[in-house]
Amino acid sequence: PFLDPIPSLPALYTSIGFSIFTFMATLYLVPTLGPTFVKAHLSGRDLLKVYATQIPESLGLVCASVYILALTLFIPFAFSDSLTIGSTRTPEGIFVSEFPHSRLSVYLSSLLSLLIATILGFLDDVFDIRWRHKLPIPIIASIPLLMVYYAERGNTHIVVPLPLRFLLGSLLNLGPLYYLYMSLLSTFATNSINILAGINGSEVSQALIIAISVILNDLLYLPWPIGFHLPVHLLGSNAEVEFGGVWSAGMAYGSKELVERHLFSLYFMLPLVAVCSGFMYHNWYPARVFPGDTLCYVTGMAFAVVGIQAHFSKTLLLFFLPQIFNFVLSCPQLFGLVPCPRHRVPRFDADTNLLHPSKAIFLKPPSKLAATVLRILSIFKMVVLTVHPSGVILETTNLTILNFFLVRLGPMNEKRLVQVLMCCQIGGSVLAFSVRYGLAGLVYDG
Ligand code: UD1
Ligand code: MG
């Protein structure tokens, strides 16, 4: 029992076709263009190998170009069901076009944000921008998204969990704060992948698993012809899925808006999965190419784009659990409490071919606050400290999730470490789905 005619799905099949081409193009172009990047001095040494060959870097630029090209060529197909629409005449005699301009502006503003992210990422690869300078740039890149969100009368309410309702009521309007949150989301998504990096395949495998998780989530909202329908209250129990700011369970399963938004998300995620799988083949241990910051920024921005435009930003954040953990753990180093070396990648032991946690050395004794934070972290076995007999901390293992794995699980080789990271990312997604569709039913009503 659908409320509206459902948007046509043939465009989805076209998108799958485009993705297959995108996959093959990436698979072919990345190694072909690699030498050109080395010639342009876009290369780096693999820090965790014995050999010192220059490996082509920023091949994420090729991925971004193929991805954005595919999305651009796809525009007419995304609107194929609307191309035959004419205009209607109002009683006053004015012709009104029925073309879905708002959907088009969602699509175009998303492309614009992706392009800005590509430029930023590439500039970062070429000029090594300081991270505190590059933090605000994705915020600017998200302005087109936010404006379109506003123009669409996007929702700024959140549904208050049952236990807090006596205090806040059932719906809370965050207003401008919601926009602040969404712009921070784009900065977070772009940078958090970039700082969980440095071992072969790490950046691209994170992006791949998050993209697949987003796709699985989108599929739940499509009008499947047979069986397999999630209970309406679960899909609708989140304020993000309703329209125009009025909370009701009326945004039932199969509603046109909802399907359209998740189709939009699929159009952006399917070619991303294709690009990432093609690239991963060449970036897998031992890597023949590096993604550079460009890949991290483009994939991160693509997630922010679909999260914001298809209104599932909170579900999206749940897919970033390992990145959130890594970011929170990194904060003492990012904000200058603990020294932060240029590279925090694990230390490579050439004799055994194993990775060990790398260390940050205190040149002067840490502040009281830093020492307290590190001591607490070491109680929870997040870091290992080297302490002088006088009690002063001399060294700490670097505060990243990769070093955390090595502290907890012991030394391992690079391939095993990236596999551990991937398992953690998949485990995070499984947890995300159970929180979103299992626990959400407990803390929110239908
Ligand atoms: C971020 C991290 C840094 C980490 C680096 C690795 C923070 C604040 N910054 O910096 O700690 O060391 O990423 O990417 O957490 N490389 C490899 N193997 C790989 C991928 C990269 O050895 O699989 C090395 C190469 O030498 C390559 C370099 O890392 O040239 C790229 O580093 P870059 O992306 O410029 O570092 P940042 O993003 O600034
Ligand atoms: Mg980087």
Residue nearest to ligand 1 atom 23, measured at CA: 200
Q: Which residues pair with 96 in a beta bridge?
A: 88
Cβ atoms within 10 Å of 443's Cβ, excluding its own? 14
User: Which is it for the CA torsion 234, 239, 242, 247, positive or negative?
Assistant: positive
State whether the beta carbon of 217 lies less than 6 angstroms from ligand 1. no
Determine the pLDDT at residue 5.
Answer: 52
Query: Which of ligand 1's atoms lies nearest the C-alpha of 201?
Result: 23
- Rounded Cα distance, 119 and 115, in Å: 6
Where do runs of H (alpha helix) occur along 288-387? 292-309, 313-318, 321-334, 368-379
Query: Which of ligand 1's atoms lies nearest the C-alpha of 333?
Result: 8
Question: Of the ligands numbered here, which is closest to the C-alpha atom of 295?
Answer: 2
Q: Which residues pair with 412 in a beta bridge?
A: 355
User: 58 C-alpha vs ligand 1 centroid, how far in Å?
Assistant: 11
Determine the pLDDT at residue 418.
Answer: 98
8 A C-beta contact, residue 384 and residue 362? no
Cβ atoms within 10 Å of 427's Cβ, excluding its own? 12
State whether the beta carbon of 208 lies less than 6 angstroms from ligand 1. no
User: 198 C-alpha vs ligand 2 centroid, how far in Å?
Assistant: 7
Query: Which of ligand 1's atoms lies nearest the C-alpha of 48?
Result: 22
User: Ligand 1: which of 38, 133, 279, 343 to mutate, judged by most atoms within 8 Å of the beta carbon?
Assistant: 343
Residue nearest to ligand 1 atom 12, measured at CA: 343
- Rounded Cα distance, 29 and 22, in Å: 10
- Rounded Cα distance, 305 and 291, in Å: 21
Q: Are strands 385-387 and 393-397 parallel, antiparallel or unpaired?
A: antiparallel
8 A C-beta contact, residue 13 and residue 265? no
Determine the pLDDT at residue 238.
Answer: 44
Determine the pLDDT at residue 155.
Answer: 81
User: 47 C-alpha vs ligand 1 centroid, how far in Å?
Assistant: 9
User: Ligand 1: which of 191, 290, 399, 415 to mutate, judged by most atoms within 8 Å of the beta carbon?
Assistant: 290
Regarding an ipTM greater than 0.95, the answer is yes
State whether the beta carbon of 203 lies less than 6 angstroms from ligand 1. no
Q: Which residues pair with 347 in a beta bridge?
A: 356
Residues in the chain, pLDDT under 50: 1-4, 227, 237-253, 446
State whether the beta carbon of 45 lies less than 6 angstroms from ligand 1. yes
Q: Which token pair is 12?
A: 């989805």
Determine the pLDDT at residue 371.
Answer: 96
State whether the beta carbon of 298 lies less than 6 angstroms from ligand 1. no
Cβ atoms within 10 Å of 146's Cβ, excluding its own? 20
State whether the beta carbon of 46 lies less than 6 angstroms from ligand 1. yes
